[in-house]
Amino acid sequence: MKYAILLILAAFLLVGCSGRAEELEKQNAALQQQNKDLSQDLTSQDEYIDEVVTSVNEVYLSIEAARASEKNLLSESKGIEGTKAKNKDDVRKDLLGRIATVNENLQANYKKVDDLQKKVNSSRKQSGALQTMVDNLRKTIEEREQSIAALEMKVSGLEGEVAAKSEVVRQRELVIDAQKKEIATVYYVIGTKKELEEKGIIKDEGGFLWGLVGSTTTLASGLDPSYFTPIDRARNTTFRVEGKIREILPKRNAEYYTQQKNEGGESVLTVADLDHFWRDKYLVILTD
């Protein structure tokens, strides 16, 4: 009887131990699975963060490239006025083309940011830091886009600015040309004393016996330019006169010109010193 009771107790103990072991095994398996799931989840989260950060860095690199391009474009746009007139339009078109390329890259970056935003929104692993990165990235792109837009407007406006400045230069050149022409233009008239007096070009001054003796012939005041012929002093240095040259007015130093008489009675006056001879812009040649 005693041995029977011991056998029954031993049987209960064996059953109890076996049940406990099975329970521990189940708990251990569940813990291992949870640990595996947690490790996978951590790995997945690390990969997700790495992927987002990598994309963000790629966009920032693209933005920095756009910033460098913008700096070069701005520098070139400032120097466009120094180019030759016939090349200015080509330079402006080239700048606008390169600006368009930068804009295209910025638009591509916008798409990348939109994809990142979708990825962040759809992920179960929400991260405030990642969202801040995406928001800052979008703001940076907007700033670059505004800056590029301003540069594009500036380069586009160069056409009108250059045209306006070119017009100013053209007007100044016209004034300069007119001044040069005025400086180079001199006037002459040829005639007998009687003819020139009747036109009011010359007059006699001084002398006695009512000017019959000792008078001096001079240019009259208030000359009428319509009686004179305008010429370019550099191109017209010789004056041919039928007959004899009696006198030239205003008087010039004989060193500044030469006179000779050709066969047939023609007289020739040649200017030898342009600057000194034409200190007076009017020349009156009196003939017999």
CA distance 107 to 59: 11
Tell me the average pLDDT of the chain: 76
The CB-based long-range contact list for 160-166 (8 Å cut-off, 24+ gap) reads 162/80, 162/81, 162/88, 162/92, 165/81, 166/85
**Lowest-pLDDT range of 38-52, 172-186, 220-234:** 38-52
pLDDT digits (tens, 9 = 90+) for 251-276: 999 999 999 998 888 999 999 999 99
Does 118 score more than 70 pLDDT?
yes
pLDDT at 120: 74
Q: Which residue has the higher pLDDT, 254 or 151?
A: 254
* HSE value, Cβ hemisphere, 13 Å, CA-based, for 35: 6
pLDDT at 115: 80
Which tokens sit at 98? 């390169």
Query: Exposed, middle or buried: residue 262 (CB in 10 Å: 0-12, 13-18, 19+)?
Result: exposed
Crossing angle for the helix pair 128-184 and 85-122, to the nearest 10 degrees: 170
Q: Which residue has the higher pLDDT, 2 or 194?
A: 194
Residue pair 212/220 in contact by the 8 Å Cβ criterion: no
Crossing angle for the helix pair 2-78 and 85-122, to the nearest 10 degrees: 170
Describe the strand order of the beta sheet including 238-242 as a list of residue ranges: 238-242, 266-271, 257-261
Stated as kind and residue range, the H or E segment containing 246 is: strand 245-249
pLDDT at 70: 66
CA distance 173 to 264: 47
Instruction: Give me the amino acid identity at 94.
Output: D
| Three-class DSSP category at 232 | strand
pLDDT digits (tens, 9 = 90+) for 186-226: 999 999 999 999 999 999 886 554 445 557 888 888 888 89
**Lowest-pLDDT range of 48-57, 144-153, 180-189, 233-242:** 48-57
Q: What are phi and psi of 281, to 5 degrees?
A: -80, -10
pLDDT digits (tens, 9 = 90+) for 48-104: 555 656 656 666 676 777 677 667 766 766 666 555 555 667 777 777 788 888 878
Q: In which band, very low, low, confident or very high, does the pLDDT at 38 lie, cut at 50, 70 and 90?
A: low
Which phi-psi region, left, alpha or beta, contains residue 127 (left: φ > 0; alpha: ψ -120 to 50)?
beta
Q: What are phi and psi of 234, to 5 degrees?
A: -75, -25
pLDDT at 84: 55
pLDDT at 76: 66
Q: Which residue has the higher pLDDT, 130 or 277?
A: 277
Q: What are phi and psi of 238, to 5 degrees?
A: -125, 135
